Amino acid sequence: MFDFRYHALSLAAVFIALIVGLLLGVAIGDKELVSSARSDLRDSLRSDVREANTERAAAKDDLAAEQEFGDKALPILTGGRLRGREIGLVLLGPADIKPDAVRKWLEPTGANLSLVAQLREDVDPQAIGERARGTRYEDVAKKPELLGALARRIGIQLVEGGRLAGRLRTSLLQTVSGDIGGLDGVIVIRPSDLPSDKEAADRLRALQDGLARGLAQTGVKVVGIEQAGSDPSQIGWYRERELSTVDNVDETAGQAALVFVLAGADGAFGRRDSAQDLLPPVVASVPRRR
């Protein structure tokens, strides 16, 4: 006798078997597909890495070749352009750029780094006033507003010479080597750090501002410099005080720009957005001041 329930159960069992079979087949197929895709991806990534390494090695070789060319071309570009010039280096505090590096950059030009002066991070207004006795600056301890004007006068005298700069050199300057006065150009470096003490920081700001303005007032070429990675940049500070600037002096192009500015070019040069060009036009050297 036909049993409909038995027939229904049989059909259900067949369907279940089919579904299980399909699921197993798909699972097996998916595993093989995933395995194949994973293998293809791994091979592709390995190929990409090998290609990237090859490109990186080629780029490093190109960069090394360009650097070698620049190092060899720099003395040719700058050779003799500042012959007989007396150049000063004024550090407005501790700086990462060392005087020996500046001497190296100037060596092919024929210039002499005749003065290196570093401003003290903190000065004693009382000591300055005592050494400035007989001048309008002897009351600087009581009248802090005189500090900027004093620094401006010192900036002028660093270039042109003068008694007051000689009297105050140990009170204002951390280190001094060479002769004050008789300069044909000045390189200025301003560090980004200021003393933590507010009064000391205010005094240093006034001295930095006054010195820079005094140097610029003399009419000799004055250029503010920094390295390409300097942060924060001091270029805006220099430009506000009418100094020409080079923002990548640690690079060959920046060293060439420095020489061209000292030779007579004006403007802001380097790789920052504020620069008007990488290099100034190659100009004939301006006559010496004397």
Asked if residue 143 lies in contact with residue 115, where contact means CB atoms within 8 angstroms, the answer is no
What distance in Å separates the CA atoms of residue 183 and residue 171, rounded to the nearest whole number?
22
What pLDDT is recorded for position 2?
Answer: 47
More confident residue, 69 or 77: 77
Within a domain: 284 = no
> Are both 205 and 116 inside the same structural domain?
yes
> Are both 113 and 32 inside the same structural domain?
no
Best-predicted range by mean pLDDT (33-37, 44-48, 175-179): 175-179
Within a domain: 279 = no
Rounded mean pLDDT, 92-96: 94
Tally of structural domains, the chain:
2
Rounded mean pLDDT, 37-55: 73
> Are both 111 and 237 inside the same structural domain?
yes
- Single out the residue in 37, 59, 78 at which a domain terminates: 78
For 248-286, b/e burial (b = at least 16 CB within 10 A) is: bbbbbbbbbbbbbbbbbbebbbbebeebeeebbeeeebe
What pLDDT is recorded for position 51?
Answer: 74
What residues have CB less than 8 Å from 231, skipping those under 6 apart? 192
- Single out the residue in 78, 108, 129 at which a domain terminates: 78
Q: Where are the alpha helices (DSSP H) in 79-134?
A: 99-106, 125-131
Identify the band that residue 58 occupies on the pLDDT scale cut at 50, 70 and 90: low
Within a domain: 44 = yes
- Single out the residue in 31, 61, 78 at which a domain terminates: 78
Asked if residue 147 lies in contact with residue 136, where contact means CB atoms within 8 angstroms, the answer is no
Rounded mean pLDDT, 254-274: 96
> Are both 226 and 93 inside the same structural domain?
yes
CB atoms within 10 A of CB 119: 22
pLDDT score of 210 more than 70: yes
Amino acid of residue 213: R
> Are both 32 and 93 inside the same structural domain?
no
Within a domain: 38 = yes
Within a domain: 154 = yes
Rounded mean pLDDT, 25-33: 54
> Are both 169 and 147 inside the same structural domain?
yes
The range of the structural domain enclosing residue 165 comes to 83-269
- Mean pLDDT computed over every residue of the chain: 85
SS3 74: helix
What residues have CB less than 8 Å from 132, skipping those under 6 apart? 138, 140, 150, 164, 167, 168
> Are both 175 and 73 inside the same structural domain?
no
Is the pTM of the predicted complex or chain greater than 0.85?
A: no
